[in-house]
Structure formats: structure tokens, C-alpha cells
């Protein structure tokens, strides 16, 4: 363990009228520093996760973090991007700086503003995270890509409509207790399972309730080296942080296996000296319900093709043997691209500090996080443990 999370902040996710990328960054930066109990001048490095890809007219955004305080002026600041895993890329880059002893305290911020962009343009922007030469013409945008994955999964392993509806219903039920979530409504299994005017098919076998929401939002975490963290009021250590990058074209991979996800989990568990059974909860990347289903298999919770068992037998419920997405996940919380991975780390840290309110998993001791960019291209796993 070289780094720990010592403070965090989280904006609401959703359609945030009156906010901008800059205002969201400034708010969570100020709040995270206050939560950690440190001054801006104590920060050694700033990492901003911001996907953008056309969502915001302002690019080159790393220095917008400096707007939060004049004492951040002249600090090292860097923007990182790795599609939907951009937020975790920011956190992991901060961990690397601390591990290399290049910084003692790092501020990692994630942000996205998506709702001000017209619908068709949103789809085009998101498809920039696909292999454009082969995949950009898929009907239905990124939902179309995962609709294709779902269709192939159904062909190989049978109709999974019941399981996907159970995943959606679980996450929406969990999201009711999340004060930051874009949708705080328990939709119920029957609504998620049934095609209707309010829940039409979007792409392949995926319905609206199978797809995460277009969102604005930001989150921030303050990272410190372990020696510094132990002198602070709270500390959640990063026991492992693994990043595995796979081929961009889906045509070069068995897309039903999420092999990069599986390898990232294997490496993180090995590095931490833990097994999946040791974890109290997992926050995983449910951009689409089919993704969460396949991630059950990739993380080793079930054999390949049997992910449905985990949700049908209640393993992944908040009171199950491995609660998955007690926050409501991207499905209920929303998915502002650059903020998602930072949000996952902040919410997992809250769980371990027993400060997650209505989201709290009883006696949470260890948390796993999986954040994915593209269709299992960028794969980030973190394992967190409270040390103070």
C-alpha cells in the first residue's frame, strides 16, 4: 500500500442546469479539500479526468481546477482520458505519482457535462470511444454495440432477459438511497422486464432500463501517501490498483469474455493477497445491464455463461454474499463519463468509513471497483481498505 484516499466530494449527477464543466470542477475541488482537512497549498499534483470528445467547447481543461483557489496556481496539473474509465485513470495516475515519491498529496478530479449536447451528437461523441473504422456505423450508437454483445450472448447462452431485468431492478432499488443519483426511483422487476411505451427496446434485446443515463456531474478524491494519511482524520488505503488495456477493435477479441476485465481482477486480487470472497462489496461498470452480467463472470463470481445465477440467487443484492453496485451503479446514478471512476472510488470509501447512509453495506471492510472504458478495452480494478 502506497496511497490512501483521505477526502472526497461528489456532486449530484443528472441534468444540472446552470452548471458548467468549470463550476462543477471548482465545487468538488473545494469540497474535497475541505473534507480532507487540507489547504490548497498542500497539494503537490492535480490530475483531471475529462473525456469531452466534443461535449464541451472548452478543451485543455486541467488548469480549470486552479480556479478553485489561487493557492493551486503553479501546481503540476494534467488531464487524462481513457473513455468511460477516465475517472479511474485520474485516480490511478495520482497513485502512481505517490508510489514514485513524486508527490505526497494528489488531487484527482473527474468531470463531464453531457446534457447540453443534442441527442444525435451525444451518440456520435460516445462512438469516438469505439473502433471508428469498423464500429462507428453501428445502428443505435454505443447502445448498439452493447446490443450486439447482448445478442451474441443470447445466441451462445440463451435468453437472458429475466437476468438483465433483475440487474436493472436491483440497481434502481439501490439508487433510491443515493442522494447523488440521477434517478432515485425503484422501478421494479416487472417494469424493467416488460417492453412498453416508457421502456421500449433501444438496441437488440436491450430496453431503455438496460442503459445508463446521459449525465452531468463531478467527483473528486484527495490521495496521500500512507505516512501522511495516517496523520489525517480518515484514510482508506488502495491495496491494489491494476490497469489492463485490450485491443480497441471488437473484431480482434472474444467480446463475450471481457478478458481485460478478468485479467485486471486477477492481478488486483493477487497483489492484494485477497480472494473475491474477502470483499464486502463491488462497484462495477454497468453502463448496460449486459456488461454487469458479463462482469460477474470476468471477476470470477460465476463460470462463463452463468452470470445470471449471481443475480437470480440474490448474491449481488445489497444483503447478498457480494453486494454489487449498492450505490445504484451507473444505471441509477448516471454516467458522466469523466466523473464515473472517481465517483466509484469516493462512494466505496464512504462505505468503508461507514458513512454511506442509506447505501451502507453492513460491516463493509473491503471494497472492489471495476471501471471500464469502451467495450472492455480500458480495464481498471481498485481494491480499497480502511486503515484509519
31: domain CATH number is: 3.40.47.10
Q: Please write the tens of the pLDDT for every residue from 45-75.
A: 999 999 999 999 999 999 999 999 999 999 9
- Comparing CA positions, the residue from 165, 174, 163, 188 lying closest to residue 326 is 174
Residue 300's pLDDT is what? 98
What does the DSSP assignment read for 143-180? HHHHHHHHHHHHHHH---HHHHHHHHHHHHHHHTT-TT
Instruction: Using alpha carbons, list the distances in angstroms from residue 372 to 72, 105, 128, 231.
Output: 30, 26, 15, 33
The answer to whether the beta carbons of residues 187 and 123 sit under 8 Å apart is: no
Long-range contacts of 350-354 (CB under 8 A, 24+ apart): 350/8, 351/280, 351/281, 351/326, 352/236, 352/280, 352/384, 352/385, 352/386, 353/234, 353/236, 353/386
Question: Which residue(s) pair with 243 in the sheet?
Answer: 380
Confidence of residue 137 (pLDDT cuts 50, 70, 90): confident
Q: pTM higher than 0.85 for the full model? A: yes
Does residue 151 belong to any structural domain of this protein?
Answer: no
**Distance (Å, rounded) from C-alpha 95 to C-alpha 1?**
10
- Rounded to the nearest 5°, which phi and psi values hold at 183? -125, 110
Structural domain containing residue 48: 3-118+214-229
Q: How far is CA 340 from the centre of its chain?
A: 4
Residue with cell 445465477: 309
Does residue 255 belong to any structural domain of this protein?
Answer: no
Identify each DSSP E strand in the chain by its residue range.
3-10, 45-49, 76-80, 105-113, 201-203, 206-207, 216-225, 236-245, 281-283, 366-373, 378-386
Confidence of residue 141 (pLDDT cuts 50, 70, 90): confident
* 138 pLDDT above the threshold of 90: no
CA dihedral 194, 314, 290, 302 (to 10 degrees): -150
Does residue 383 belong to any structural domain of this protein?
Answer: no
Residue 158's pLDDT is what? 98
Does residue 221 belong to any structural domain of this protein?
Answer: yes
Range 209-236 average pLDDT = 98
**Distance (Å, rounded) from C-alpha 351 to C-alpha 209?**
26
Instruction: Using alpha carbons, list the distances in angstroms from residue 384 to 17, 170, 344.
Output: 34, 23, 11
Q: Please write the tens of the pLDDT for every residue from 313-365.
A: 999 999 999 999 999 999 999 999 999 999 999 999 999 999 999 999 999 99
The answer to whether the beta carbons of residues 284 and 299 sit under 8 Å apart is: yes
Residue 86's CB: how many other CB atoms inside 10 A?
31
Does residue 105 belong to any structural domain of this protein?
Answer: yes
**Distance (Å, rounded) from C-alpha 164 to C-alpha 49?**
30
3-state secondary structure of 129: helix
Q: Please write the tens of the pLDDT for every residue from 11-36.
A: 999 999 999 999 999 999 999 999 99
SS3 percent helix, strand, coil of the chain, rounded to 5, is 40, 20, 40
The answer to whether the beta carbons of residues 8 and 100 sit under 8 Å apart is: no
How many domains, the chain? 1
The three grid cell numbers given for residue 297, joined into one nine-digit string? 463472470
Does residue 156 belong to any structural domain of this protein?
Answer: no
3-state secondary structure of 29: helix
Does residue 348 belong to any structural domain of this protein?
Answer: no
Does residue 274 belong to any structural domain of this protein?
Answer: no
Q: Rounded mean pLDDT of the chain?
A: 97
* 139 pLDDT above the threshold of 90: no
Instruction: Using alpha carbons, list the distances in angstroms from residue 359 to 178, 180, 303, 334.
Output: 6, 11, 28, 16
The proportion of the chain whose per-residue pLDDT surpasses 90, expressed as a percent, equals: 98
**Distance (Å, rounded) from C-alpha 334 to C-alpha 138?**
23
Residue 100's pLDDT is what? 97
Amino acid at each position: 500500500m502506497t496511497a490512501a484516499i483521505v477526502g472526497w466530494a461528489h456532486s449530484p449527477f443528472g441534468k444540472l442546469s446552470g452548471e458548467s464543466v468549470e463550476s462543477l470542477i471548482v465545487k468538488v475541488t473545494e469540497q474535497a479539500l475541505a473534507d480532507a482537512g487540507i489547504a490548497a497549498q498542500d497539494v503537490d499534483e492535480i490530475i483531471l479526468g475529462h473525456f469531452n470528445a466534443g461535449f464541451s467547447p472548452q478543451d485543455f481543461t486541467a488548469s480549470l481546477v486552479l480556479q478553485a483557489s489561487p493557492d493551486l496556481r503553479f501546481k503540476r496539473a494534467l488531464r487524462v482520458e481513457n473513455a468511460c474509465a477516465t475517472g479511474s485513470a485520474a485516480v490511478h495516475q495520482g497513485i502512481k505519482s505517490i508510489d514514485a515519491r513524486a508527490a505526497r498529496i494528489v488531487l484527482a478530479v473527474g468531470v463531464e457535462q453531457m446534457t447540453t449536447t443534442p441527442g444525435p451528437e451525444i451518440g456520435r461523441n460516445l462512438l469516438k470511444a469505439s473502433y471508428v473504422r469498423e464500429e462507428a456505423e453501428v445502428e443505435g450508437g454505443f447502445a448498439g454495440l452493447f446490443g450486439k454483445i447482448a445478442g451474441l450472448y443470447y445466441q451462445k447462452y440463451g435468453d437472458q432477459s429475466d437476468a438483465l431485468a433483475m440487474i436493472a431492478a436491483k440497481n434502481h432499488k439501490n439508487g433510491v438511497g443515493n442522494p447523488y443519483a440521477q434517478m432515485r426511483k425503484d422501478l421494479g422487476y416487472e417494469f424493467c422486464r416488460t417492453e412498453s411505451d416508457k421502456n421500449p427496446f433501444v438496441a437488440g434485446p436491450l430496453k431503455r432500463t438496460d442503459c445508463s443515463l446521459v449525465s452531468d456531474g463531478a467527483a473528486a478524491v484527495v490521495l496521500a501517501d500512507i505516512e501522511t494519511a495516517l496523520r489525517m482524520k480518515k484514510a482508506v488505503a488502495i491495496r491494489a490498483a491494476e490497469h489492463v488495456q485490450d485491443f480497441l477493435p471488437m473484431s480482434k477479441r472474444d467480446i463475450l469474455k471481457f478478458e481485460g476485465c478478468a485479467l485486471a481482477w486477477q492481478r488486483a486480487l493477487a497483489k492484494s493477497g485477497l480472494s473475491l470472497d474477502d470483499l464486502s462489496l463491488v462497484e462495477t461498470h454497468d453502463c448496460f445491464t449486459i456488461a454487469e452480467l458479463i462482469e460477474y463472470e470476468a471477476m470470477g463470481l460465476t463460470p462463463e455463461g452463468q452470470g445470471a445465477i449471481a443475480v437470480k440467487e440474490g448474491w449481488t443484492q445489497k444483503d447478498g454474499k457480494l453486494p454489487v453496485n449498492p450505490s445504484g451503479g451507473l444505471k441509477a446514478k448516471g454516467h458522466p463519463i469523466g466523473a464515473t471512476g472517481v465517483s466509484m472510488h469516493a462512494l466505496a470509501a464512504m462505505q468503508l468509513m461507514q458513512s454511506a447512509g442509506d447505501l451502507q453495506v453492513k460491516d463493509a471492510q473491503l471494497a472492489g471497483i471495476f471501471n471500464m472504458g469502451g467495450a472492455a478495452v480500458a480495464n481498471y480494478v481498485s481494491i480499497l481498505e480502511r486503515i484509519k
